Amino acid sequence: MPSGFPYRALAAWYRGASRRLPWRKDPSPYKVWVSEIMLQQTRVQNVIPYFERFLKRFPDVRTLALAGEQDVVRLWSGLGYYSRVRNLRRAAKIVLERHGGVLPRNRAELLALPGIGPYSAGAILSIAYGIPEPIMDGNVRRVLSRFFLVRPDRLLWRQAGRLVAGCGSPSEFNQSLMELGALVCAPKQPACGACPLRRACRARKRGLTESYPRRGRPQKTVRRSYVLALLRRESRLRPGSRLLLLRRSGRRKWLKGLWEFPMARVPKGPESGGSRDGLERWSERFGRDLGTAVRLDSFLGRVRHAITRHLLTVQVFSGTASGEPARGRAQAAWASPRELERYGGSSLSRKALALLPPI
């Protein structure tokens, strides 16, 4: 056991202060895996309902591996970062075919699976299997960087490896480090008085908690403008009217493979809004894109939507499409607003749909 680290104090704190989260009850390898993938760049409170729905529909590797991609993406819709769920399904198919539906207990075999990196592999091995493997997410990095007064990741991984090798329960130890970083050792104004590591923490002793770890430069927000069209077949919107949905392969990778309403990028310059010129211009643009006659008849409003570091301002129009989109442009479907959930529409699509007037 590495000298100087207060294992007992940390364990006692964790048992008394940790949150009751659904993936911590009976932490099977599959549950740990799904939760860790969902938690990447997503807040815990946002993940909980998605995790519970996902596990109810896909309770194990086999059911996930045999599910269709659209069904899996539909349950993920709203969490964003959709490459995560596609990799999750791809990895489940490999685990079923090569490992009999059981996640490997070997680090190298886990790292060979799509979407699993060093952190996810360490979490599965330590939390589910009790194997002394280190983990390093943002919370753990902050705790260890301050405790040891160390910045480089290679040194933090080394310290994490030493600590987990000397603990009594790798599962509890790694979860306690993550929880401490989430609840106490915050990026700004950490609650050092409530920290079980405070007496041995070097950053606290030297008054340097705000300086560790070194913060990267914040990514610049990229602003983009789009136009979105809610296109129906009928001359006016009626109860049960179906709207055109498209599924494209990769023009916008953040919506890749999702069913979405037709969208077009707005070139730089003044926005046309709902003017007659604007309606005609965008009618022509969507007509060219879809290969069928389009007539936009009203401007419904604007929505804002954030995706990673992109902030989208989307002008929403309604109108009609005279026929089916030309073959090869995109996979197309017609769906009523109530059927959108079945297609796994994005949260952006739901925001746009909310602008439709009551029927």
pLDDT digits (tens, 9 = 90+) for 303-356: 999 877 788 999 999 999 988 887 766 788 898 888 877 787 788 888 999 998
Pairing of strands 259-260, 263-265: unpaired
Question: What percentage of the chain carries pLDDT values higher than 70?
Answer: 92
Helix/strand/coil (H/E/C) assignment for every residue in the chain: CCCCCCHHHHHHHHHHHCCCCHHHCCCCHHHHHHHHHHHCCCCHHHHHHHHHHHHHHCCCHHHHHHCCHHHHHHHHCCCCCCHHHHHHHHHHHHHHHHHCCCCCCCHHHHHCCCCCCHHHHHHHHHHHCCCCCCCCCHHHHHHHHHHHCCCCHHHHHHHHHHHHHCCCCHHHHHHHHHHHHHHCCCCCCCCHHHCCCHHHCHHHHCCCHHHCCCCCCCCCCEEEEEEEEEEECCCCCCCCCCEEEEECCCCCHHHCCCEECCEEECCCCCCCCCCHHHHHHHHHHHHHHHCCCEEEEEEEEEEEEEECCEEEEEEEEEEEECCCCCCCCCEEEEECHHHHHHHCCCHHHHHHHCCCCCC
Average pLDDT, rounded, for the chain: 90
Helix axis angle, 170-183 relative to 7-17, nearest 10°?
70
Average pLDDT over every residue of 114-132: 97
Six-digit token string for 331: 């996979």
What mean pLDDT is predicted for residues 34-49? 94
Gyration radius (Cα) of the chain, Å: 25
pLDDT tens, position by position, 246-273: 876 655 556 666 788 999 999 875 555 5
Cα torsion 350, 351, 357, 359 to 10°: value is 10
Structure tokens at 262: 């037709």
What are the tokens at 272?
Answer: 């046309």
Mean pLDDT of 189-201: 97
| Mean local confidence (pLDDT), 222-243 | 85
Q: pTM (2 decimals)?
A: 0.82
Query: Is the pLDDT assigned to residue 20 strictly greater than 70?
Result: yes
Domains of the chain listed by start with CATH number? 7-211 (1.10.340.30), 222-353 (3.90.79.10)
Q: Given this model, what pLDDT does residue 1 score?
A: 47
pLDDT over 60 (residue 274): no
**Token pair of 170 as six digits:** 């790798």
Which residue in this structure is represented by tokens 């296109």?
231
| Phi, psi for residue 346 in degrees, rounded to 5 | -70, 165
In the predicted model, what is the mean pLDDT of residues 269-295? 79
- Give me the residue label for tokens 């519970």: 52
**Distance, CA of 23 to CA of 38 (rounded, Å):** 11
Confidence of residue 102 (pLDDT cuts 50, 70, 90): very high
Residue 244 has pLDDT above 60, yes or no: yes
**Of 273, 267, 264, whose CA–CA distance to 299 is shortest?**
273
What percent of the chain clears pLDDT 90, i.e. is strictly above it? 69
Asked if 249 contacts 257 with a C-beta cutoff of 8 angstroms, the reply is yes
Could you list the active site residues?
Answer: 36
Question: What's the mean pLDDT in 181-195?
Answer: 97
With bands split at pLDDT 50, 70 and 90, how would you rate the model's confidence at 216? confident
CA distances to 145, 184, 206, 229 from 202, in Å? 9, 16, 6, 57
Please report the pLDDT score of residue 218 as a whole number. Answer: 75
pLDDT at 220: 87
